[in-house]
Structure 1
Amino acid sequence: MIWQENIEYIVMLTNLIEGPKKKCHRYWSNEDEELELDPFSVTLIEEKVYAYYVIRILNLKKREVTGSRRVLQFHYTRWPDHGTPNPLDLVIFHRHFRHKVNPTQRPILVHCSAGVGRTGTFIGLDVLSRYGKDNGKVNVIEYVKTMRKDRMTMIQNVEQYIFLHHALFEFFRRQGRIIKREGFLNVCCGSANRETMKEITNEFNELSTLKPVYDSEDFTTGINHLHLNKTQSVLPVEQYLVSLSSHVSGRDAYYNAVTVSSFTQAEEFISAQLPVTGAAIDLVRLLVDQESNFLISLNPLANIDEMKKWVDENVKQILLEPYEINKSAQSTLNGIRKTTLNIEVKEKLSHEVHIFECLDWSPDNVLPADTSSLINLIKQFSSDRKSEPDGPVTVISKDGATCCGVFIAVYNAIEQLQQDDEIDLCSIVQQIQCRRPEMIATKAEYEFCSRAVCDFLNMNNVYANT
């Protein structure tokens, strides 16, 4: 069908397997291999992985036909088996899809498993968003009726129908502002002129209107454990809360921590607060339960009562029943201290954790004195992360939002520039604010993020080997 209809673009909205069910047979090869589907052969030319989707370039050949055809596949990988995804995440996927698609008269192939539910929802988003952008209005119910004239059950259930409205709402209230690398460097890395500052101010003000509005039900667990929160105004959103699974007598399953995605990996970060008095063991449980091998502290731990022994070079062993923490190595470079710990549970389990501390970033300050502290932290952490890419990275600050948001936003922006040679910092911040609305709470933080990304690019010539 792809060959017959001269299809250049595919949108795939299902995984190959979801739960116990096979949803779709794999119709592309592994990299550097050829998949034979007589009389066709399919070769994977390139694959780029993002937090919620994958983009693949496929090469398609037909036996006894001269030449080959290239097909660009956009594969959304985070649509839950029963339910709907985050509307903003799908809108950003759709935005990337339309950003890459060249105008064509050829049909675009959209498929899920049955080809009606997720497929109808995405087509509805695509058609109605473009129509609404041009005409200033949409009629959702009439377009769904139009789709169903061609395929009876397009948009399969009421949840998908409601979701389409939410996705259109996200699309229309912000169109996105993707800037190529050169434009970003020219605007943000040049001298701070009045127009540049006005643009940054407008983006930050726009972000303030885009923050999700949560009510008390969204913070139920945090409200029920107020004594375990450093700051009672920063509570974990229920949907993204990380619960503790290990049992320790007298301890609850609660810790103020939420999952946050990086640009290329879903749920790569756990944004957590520093432990309150007597709760250091809960942070240990979090690291072990989640198999997190990296702990990034944006502030020095030497003055934090619950954690100062973790980084004291004179303390080699810490006992937190039933855990035993042994220190194996420690070093300091460019204001970043790295400490390696081994956590054991009654000699049955050994879990290694690398702590990276930013020694120049005072917990009393929302931002460090300059961008070099954050840049050095990202450089050193990224180097180690390459050799241990699995498991989430735990990022801590006094409340799990201040400082953490700046680190994650800058890290994600650098990833986007490295992967796509372009950046949309506003969308990056909007996505992390869905997880913790208190992140990047001031214009100064947003300005600092832009400046830090520019300084990182200038200091490291990050594109030399891209």
Structure 2
Amino acid sequence: MIWEHRPGSIVMLTKLVEGGKRKCELYWPEKVGDTFKAGCGIHVQYKEVVPFADFEIKKFIVTNDQKPKVPALEVQHFQFLSWPDHGVPKFSTALISFIRRLRQYHNPQSAMLVHCSAGVGRTGAFILLDSMLEKIASESSVNVYECLTKMRQQRIHLVQTLVQYVFIHDALVELVTCGDTSVPAKALRGHIKKMVRNIPGGDVSGFTAQFRLLARVSRKPSDSDNSEGLAPHNKDKNRYPGRIPYNMNRVRLKPTGVSGAEYINASFLDGYKQKNAYMAAQAPVAATVNDFWRMVWEFKSRAVVMLCQLEENGQEMSHQYWPTQLKAKQLYGKNSVTLISEEHPFGAKEIVVRKFEITDEKNTAVFTVTQYHVLCWAEEGKMAAGLLLQMISDLNKLQRNTENKPITVVCNDGMGRTGAFICVHAMLDRVNSEHILDFFQFVKSSRINRPDIIREEEHYVMCHEAVAEYLDSFQTYANFT
């Protein structure tokens, strides 16, 4: 079918196995570089894969020995990984991002093959949503019911459930409300100049208007969403009673048999490409120092980015959670931590880099943890972009040499400065790959997994300025066109 009809893209909306049941057979080679025979002289070569947090993009080359004069077919394969069978993604942000990425790659002159497991539920919902997005772009109007009725005349049972039908409407509302907030890298400086000015006919800047929109469309926490953090036995583990992680994405420590022992005020956040790339954490309070090192140990995090001082304006921002004497070993629960070195490698005293060795009580293994301690970033202020970029460059080198385990990022609440740092780090990763940015959607997506990511408008503006300074470090934008 693919050889004969020659689609330019395949959209796959299922995993191979879901809930222990086989949903789709593997129809491409297992490893990049491999080729397999698909019958009738057809060969499928697996050229490459680019993983993202919620989807993967693969490239296949299809040839036919029986028709050597027919050109080889290059197929882009887009697999969305966060859509449950008979259900819907919990939020539409990732799916809209997926569709936009698909449209960047897909050749509109060629067909698009879409499938899930049965080819009706998720497949129908995707096609309907994609069609509506195109209609909005061209006509600024939609009729979901009419479009689905026509689709079902061509294939029955498309969009199987009411939940899927409602989800499409919710996704369209989000799209219309937020609009396209992406910015080409080469246009970022001009975008910032525009955003600092008041919006036409208004009395607030573009940044203020966009940050307020973020507040309106971001996920709103409820007691049921973060019930574990609100439990009485975890009360002393939270610095601020109202800044609690969501249950679904919180970092879970291994149970010890003690009630609440697996709780820590920390959440997994996705990076540009990597799922759970960061552990966004509240800096330890007295009751969680041991838990903090247990988290670092259990998830093998090799880097800790600390964005607050121990005390600011007379208030504790973090409990002292590391040994201060060189070569001295200190016990934190069942983990031993030794301070190996302490230096200021960036030529400024505002950032301290410490290296620790951590092991468990049985000395079964040992690894090095590097802590980047920032001393120059006030809770409601900015960090100098140059220093931030230097630190991120060093951090990236460290991560490449340590298997890219989750980066632990902490501030007093694990939300404000933590969110800003993660946003800059992820946007730099993105701009080096595809030369386009979307700060708004990244923050919105991150707030799905942890509330109040980037609490201050000033931090939101700083994210833009830091990435712009990175781009300014190149003499031309030739690499970003």
TM-score (norm 2): 0.86
1:278 is paired with a residue whose SS is helix
The structure 1 residue matched to 2:167, chosen from 144, 151, 163, is 163
Equivalence map 1:448-463=2 (5 Å): 448-459=462-473
2:248 is paired with a residue whose SS is helix
Answering whether residue 104 of structure 2 is matched by residue 90 of structure 1, we say: no
Equivalence map 1:388-399=2 (5 Å): 388-399=402-413
> 2:394 — aligned with what?
380
Task: Note closer, same or farther for the CA distance 1:320–1:47 as it changes in structure 2 (3 Å cut).
Answer: closer
> 2:121 — aligned with what?
117
> 2:444 — aligned with what?
430
Could you report, residue by residue, the CA deviation over 1:379-409 in whole angstroms, capped at 9, with x for unpaired residues?
1111110122343222111011121011111
Residue 326 of structure 2 contacts residue 339 of structure 2 at CA under 8 Å; is this kept in 1? no
Task: Note closer, same or farther for the CA distance 1:462–1:155 as it changes in structure 2 (3 Å cut).
Answer: farther
**How much does 1:188 deviate?**
3.9
Task: Note closer, same or farther for the CA distance 1:186–1:149 as it changes in structure 2 (3 Å cut).
Answer: same
Q: Pick which of 336-345 and 370-379 moved more.
A: 336-345
List, as ranges, runs of 4+ consecutive aligned residues in structure 1 with deviation greater than 6 Å.
Answer: 189-197, 302-306, 460-466
The structure 1 residue matched to 2:222, chosen from 201, 211, 215, is 215
Counterpart-to-counterpart distance in 2, 1:427 and 1:244: 29
Counterpart-to-counterpart distance in 1, 2:269 and 2:4: 42
Equivalence map 1:237-252=2 (5 Å): 237-247=246-256, 252=261
Task: Note closer, same or farther for the CA distance 1:56–1:316 as it changes in structure 2 (3 Å cut).
Answer: same
Q: Which amino acid aligns with 2:228?
A: T
Residue 196 of structure 2 contacts residue 206 of structure 2 at CA under 8 Å; is this kept in 1? no
**How much does 1:147 deviate?**
3.1
> 2:56 — aligned with what?
54
Structure 2: which 5+ residue stretches go unaligned? none
**How much does 1:167 deviate?**
2.3
Answering whether residue 223 of structure 2 is matched by residue 227 of structure 1, we say: no
User: How many corresponding residue pairs?
Assistant: 464
Could you report, residue by residue, the CA deviation over 1:255-305 in whole angstroms, capped at 9, with x for unpaired residues?
111111001111111111011123201112222333333222123459979
Residue 53 of structure 2 contacts residue 272 of structure 2 at CA under 8 Å; is this kept in 1? yes
> 2:72 — aligned with what?
68
Counterpart-to-counterpart distance in 2, 1:321 and 1:215: 33
Task: Note closer, same or farther for the CA distance 1:129–1:195 as it changes in structure 2 (3 Å cut).
Answer: closer
Counterpart-to-counterpart distance in 1, 2:336 and 2:257: 14
Counterpart-to-counterpart distance in 1, 2:194 and 2:469: 11
**How much does 1:241 deviate?**
1.8
The structure 1 residue matched to 2:361, chosen from 346, 365, 374, is 346
**How much does 1:361 deviate?**
2.5
Counterpart-to-counterpart distance in 2, 1:120 and 1:250: 45
Residue 317 of structure 2 contacts residue 412 of structure 2 at CA under 8 Å; is this kept in 1? no
Answering whether residue 333 of structure 2 is matched by residue 321 of structure 1, we say: yes
> 2:21 — aligned with what?
21
Answering whether residue 290 of structure 2 is matched by residue 281 of structure 1, we say: yes
Q: Pick which of 404-413 and 47-56 moved more.
A: 47-56
Could you report, residue by residue, the CA deviation over 1:425-452 in whole angstroms, capped at 9, with x for unpaired residues?
2111211122233222222111110110
2:462 is paired with a residue whose SS is helix
**How much does 1:123 deviate?**
1.1
Answering whether residue 359 of structure 2 is matched by residue 357 of structure 1, we say: no
The structure 2 residue matched to 1:254, chosen from 258, 263, 276, is 263
RMSD: 3.1
Counterpart-to-counterpart distance in 1, 2:448 and 2:53: 15
Q: Which amino acid aligns with 2:326?
A: N
**How much does 1:318 deviate?**
0.8
> 2:36 — aligned with what?
35
Counterpart-to-counterpart distance in 2, 1:112 and 1:161: 16
1:451 is paired with a residue whose SS is helix
Task: Note closer, same or farther for the CA distance 1:182–1:124 as it changes in structure 2 (3 Å cut).
Answer: same
Counterpart-to-counterpart distance in 2, 1:141 and 1:237: 35
Q: Pick which of 300-309 and 268-277 moved more.
A: 300-309
Q: Pick which of 110-119 and 202-211 moved more.
A: 202-211
Counterpart-to-counterpart distance in 2, 1:420 and 1:133: 22
Q: Which amino acid aligns with 1:359?
A: V
2:59 is paired with a residue whose SS is strand
Answering whether residue 307 of structure 2 is matched by residue 293 of structure 1, we say: no
Task: Note closer, same or farther for the CA distance 1:250–1:53 as it changes in structure 2 (3 Å cut).
Answer: closer
The structure 2 residue matched to 1:413, chosen from 427, 446, 462, is 427
Task: Note closer, same or farther for the CA distance 1:430–1:227 as it changes in structure 2 (3 Å cut).
Answer: same
> 2:380 — aligned with what?
366
Q: Which amino acid aligns with 1:65?
A: P
TM-score (norm 1): 0.88
1:217 is paired with a residue whose SS is coil
Counterpart-to-counterpart distance in 2, 1:221 and 1:462: 50
Could you report, residue by residue, the CA deviation over 1:308-355 in whole angstroms, capped at 9, with x for unpaired residues?
462524362111233322334444311443333333332154353523
Residue 340 of structure 2 contacts residue 356 of structure 2 at CA under 8 Å; is this kept in 1? yes
